[in-house]
Structure 1
Amino acid sequence: MLHLRLITPADRTDEVVRLIEETIGTTHLVVLPGSARNPAGDVVLCDVAREAGDELLTGLQRLGIEDSGSIAVENIDLSLSKRADKAEAEAPGEGADAVLWEHLTDATHEESTLSVTYLAFITLATMIAACGVVLDNAILIVGAMAVGPEFGPLAGFCTALVQRKPRLALRSLTALLVGFAVAMAITVGFSLFMDSIDLFSEEQLEADRPQTAFVYAPDWFSFIVAVLAGMAGTLSLTSSKSGALVGVAISVTTVPAAANAAVALSYGDTKQTWGSTEQLLLNLLGIVLAGVVTLLAQKWFWHRQRQHA
């Protein structure tokens, strides 16, 4: 269930209440006339089944409530109410299959913004991965994958393409490209520093690395894994399964490939630099394709499900 807290102008409250009452899957409707001060108006509270949430939010936006008032949505972790159970049973479809497009857009907007924190995370992840590839340490590689924040802008880019929001697409693409460029540039300097204090060496990079050689040797398995991970990651976002998203983060060779490219570049190894860059681009392409296809499939499936409800 979702909990909605609305601030509505007094002259629009009746329309809002009528919309809520007509939406199948709503319950616990409360109207507090004149309670809001900034902006001034009435406060309307209600609960709605997740599968009916997108329809209700779209209706509220059509009434202009986001412009003249406020729409706040919260997840309800526990609701002990027979009315709530009835509302969920009456709402068409399953809550786990529903996509709240506005929530998804808002969440990916935050995750895909180029910020100091984002740059810090992706740079630190790339530097950790650099240590992993030089030491041929798979544990460090997995750790770097978990730290890397690159799935946020990837998800934002996919969402923007499906929702046809060019500003979000540009913001996500900028965060992705600038983030990797900055992280790789700093990692080149980090690699040179580590070499100067004899912690990195070209011999380590060129030696046989059975645990980490895959980061500069792209193949069809890399692309397939990226596609599968992209699907899983998109589903985890739309269903709010954060645990699954962690699994996605440590499944795709993006940050390690960027790190290997940076270290190889610091030593002038063009073969590994290009191979790692190809691995990075292949994985990014696979995730984007999978994310877009998954979102389109969810949109189509949910539309068909509601048509037959």
Structure 2
Amino acid sequence: MRLVQLTVPTGKRETILDTLDEREIDYVVTDETSSRKYTAVVYFPLPDAAVEPVLDEVQNAGIDEDAYTVVVDAETVISRRFQALREEYEEGDVGSDRISRQELQAEADDLTPSFPVYAVMTIISAVVATAGLLLDSPAVVVGSMVIAPLIGPALGASVGTVIDDEELFVESVTYQILGVVLAIAAAAVFALVARMTNIVPPGLVLANVGEISERLAPDLLSLAIALGAGIAGVVSIATGTSVALVGVMIAAALIPPAGVAGITLAWGQPTAAIGATVLVLVNLLSVNLAGLLTLWYAGYRPENLFSLGETEQRVRHRIVGLVVIVLVFAVFLGGITYASYETGNFEQDARDEVEQVLSQDQYERYQLLEFEVVMDNDYPFRNPDRVIVTIGGPPGETAPELADTLHERINRHADGSVNVEVRYVEVLERGD
């Protein structure tokens, strides 16, 4: 619930009070003596869902933007008329639980810091994320998400679109673009310094670092994370609940992939940066798309009804544009997902072939100790490069023809030629 404090311009007192009386809204009026332009201040409680329609009606009665209106949280209101008002406006859905358009705009503005602060916090967040990625530390990576100031610009573009605030939209889009560039650049510079000064091991293989490798070849599940973050972010801001944890989720979709993109550039592997960069972009666009759809579904519309048609057209065009771009990236991610699926099938089929060969009578003295598929470095669409088969057998015995047999059987399941390495390990068995 909200407590509204409204200044009453000269000559509008009776009109505004009549409007509140018609709505059966309790109010308190105090005289205003600090200015001739205003004659009174009206205080009245409202349910969250009633703030926007009541303020719109009052504004139509003569309150212009030069007057100030303050809307604050109210902990408790004890009044039969207020309860009746609550039953009239609250329907138990997102639309009735949401804050007013005026509060939404103010909230979006508050969540976006000044650009110097935004730039510094983004750079710090990217540097911390890069350190956590190189250390393979999930805790440090999560810490970088907490300080990332991305939720304001990520949701501000959607808010600006639905309420017809082009200034907010342009500012938010600019912040997002610059934020991504700053994050990747800061990560690249920090990773390059760490590599040149040997802070990290000189022979570090990025594919062997779990926090990095999972973002070098992202799959379609990344879309679910970004869309969920966008919807949760908008629902949290629109209902006036805390957005801190949701901000962490949005940062999780953007900051670590940006850090990985910077690290791969510092390692001189631009092709490996493709997957992480695409992940950043698709996550960013998905957050904006989910936010835009959720806000429109929640019933937010521009203040001026005469611009409603123009705003609807603009929203429609931006939704279509975002959907098309996201689908293009989704096809790319789908290709990576399919490649991973094919690799998994190849690994299982190859292992089965090895086990079938070793089950033959002439190889009954041998046993499979270890099986490994080594992938190539052609990110993001990696393919099997070689298969390493470690076999245990009696001391001094080998089966030279086994390598040829395994090579032929395993390559039946490969699209291209895959090298097969067979390693023998002597196994000593002792009786009791």
Structure 2 counterparts to residues 23-172 of structure 1, below 5 A: 23=23, 26-27=25-26, 29-37=27-35, 40-94=38-92, 97-112=97-112, 114-172=114-172
Q: 1:42 corresponds to which letter in structure 2?
A: A
Whether the aligned pair in 2 keeps the contact of 1:65 and 1:71 (CA below 8 Å) is no
1:295 equivalent to 2:295? Answer yes
Report deviation, 1:92.
4.6
The answer for the alignment partner of 1:246 in structure 2 is 245
Q: TM-score, normalised by structure 1?
A: 0.87
Residue identity matched to 2:249: I
Describe the SS at the equivalent of 1:67.
coil
User: What is the CA–CA distance in structure 2 between the aligned matches of 1:23 and 1:272, rounded to whole Å?
Assistant: 62
Pairwise CA distance, 1:207: 4.1
Provide the C-alpha distance between the structure 2 equivalents of 1:86 and 1:54, rounded to a whole number of angstroms: 17
How far off its partner does 1:72 sit? 0.8
Match for 2:163: what amino acid? Q
3-state SS of 2:208 partner: coil
Q: In structure 2, what residue type is equivalent to 1:226?
A: A
Query: For residue 3 of structure 1, what is the aligned residue in structure 2?
Result: 3
Secondary structure at the counterpart of residue 204 of structure 1 = coil
For 2:72, the aligned partner's letter is: E
Q: Which moved more, 1:185-194 or 1:291-300?
A: 185-194
**Contact between 2:48 and 2:97, CA under 8 Å: does it hold in 1?**
no
Task: For 1:70, give the aligned amino acid.
Answer: Y
2: CA distance, partners of 1:45 / 1:19: 14
Q: Relative to structure 2, which stretch is displaced further, 265-274 or 229-238?
A: 265-274
2:64 and 2:71 map into 1 onto residues whose CA distance is 12
Aligned equivalents of 2:18, 2:258: Cα separation in 1: 54
Q: Displacement, 1:80?
A: 4.0
State the Cα deviation string for residues 81-131 of structure 1 (Å, max 9, x = none).
Answer: 444334323435348633411111121123235522222221111111101
Paired amino acid for 2:292: V
SS of the aligned residue for 2:65 comes to helix
Cα separation, partners in 2 of 1:64 and 1:120, compared to 1, 3 Å: farther
Gaps of 5+ in 2: 301-432
The one-letter code matched in structure 2 to 1:59 is E
> Taking structure 1 as reference, are residues 83 and 137 closer, same or farther at Cα in structure 2, changes over 3 Å only?
same
Q: Distance in 2 between matches of 1:48 and 1:145?
A: 36
Give the secondary structure class of the aligned counterpart of 1:72.
strand
Higher helix share: 1
Whether contact under 8 Å (2:119, 2:179) holds in the other structure is yes
Greater CA drift, 161-170 or 281-290: 161-170
SS of the residue corresponding to residue 250 of structure 1 reads helix
From the CA coordinates, give the structure whose radius of gyration is larger. Answer: 2
- Taking structure 2 as the reference length, the TM-score comes to 0.63
Which string of whole-angstrom CA distances, capped at 9 and with x for unpartnered residues, describes residues 283-305 of structure 1?
111111111111111118xxxxx
TM-superposed CA distance for 1:137, in Å, is 1.3
Q: Which residues in structure 2 correspond to 1:147-226 (within 5 Å)?
A: 147-201=147-201, 203-204=203-204, 206-226=206-226
Deviations 1:22-53 (A, max 9, x none): 236x32x0111334438643111111111111
Q: Which residue of 1 aligns with 2:13?
A: 13
Q: How does 1:226-241 map to 2 (within 5 A)?
A: 226-241=226-241
| Cα pair 1:113 1:172 within 8 Å, conserved | no
How far apart in 2 are the matches of 1:247 and 1:68?
34
Q: CA deviation at 1:186?
A: 2.8
| In structure 2, C-alpha distance between the alignment counterparts of 1:226 and 1:272, rounded to whole Å | 21
The worse-fitting range, judged by mean Cα deviation, of 72-81 and 270-279 is: 72-81
Taking the aligned partners of 2:134 and 2:226, their CA distance within structure 1 comes to 24
CA distance in 2, matches of 1:182, 1:38: 50
Higher mean displacement: 115-124 or 168-177: 115-124
Change (3 A) 1:241 1:212: farther
Aligned 8 A contact 2:10 2:36 in 1: no
| 1:140-170 CA-partner distances (Å, limit 9, x unpaired) | 2222222212121111011122223221110
- 8 Å contact kept, 2:194–2:200: yes
8 Å contact 2:32–2:39 — kept in the other structure? Answer: yes
8 Å Cα contact 1:223-1:282 kept in structure 2: yes
- Aligned CA-pair RMSD: 2.4
- Partner letter of residue 49 of structure 1? P
Amino acid in structure 2 at the alignment position of 1:271: T
- The separation in 1 between residues aligned to 2:118 and 2:70, in whole angstroms, is 26
Structure with greater contact order relative to length (CA < 8 Å, sep ≥ 6): 1
How many residues end up aligned between the 2 structures? 297
Task: Provide the rounded CA distance (Å) in 2 between the counterparts of 1:117 and 1:17.
Answer: 43
Q: 2:272 aligns to what? A: 272
Counterpart of 1:44 in 2: which secondary structure?
A: strand
Aligned partner of residue 253 in structure 1, secondary structure: helix
* Whole-angstrom CA distance in 2 between matches of 1:171 and 1:201: 41
Q: Which moved more, 1:122-131 or 1:88-97?
A: 88-97
Q: Against the structure 1 CA distance between its residues 64 and 150, is the aligned structure 2 distance closer, same or farther, given a 3 Å change threshold?
A: farther
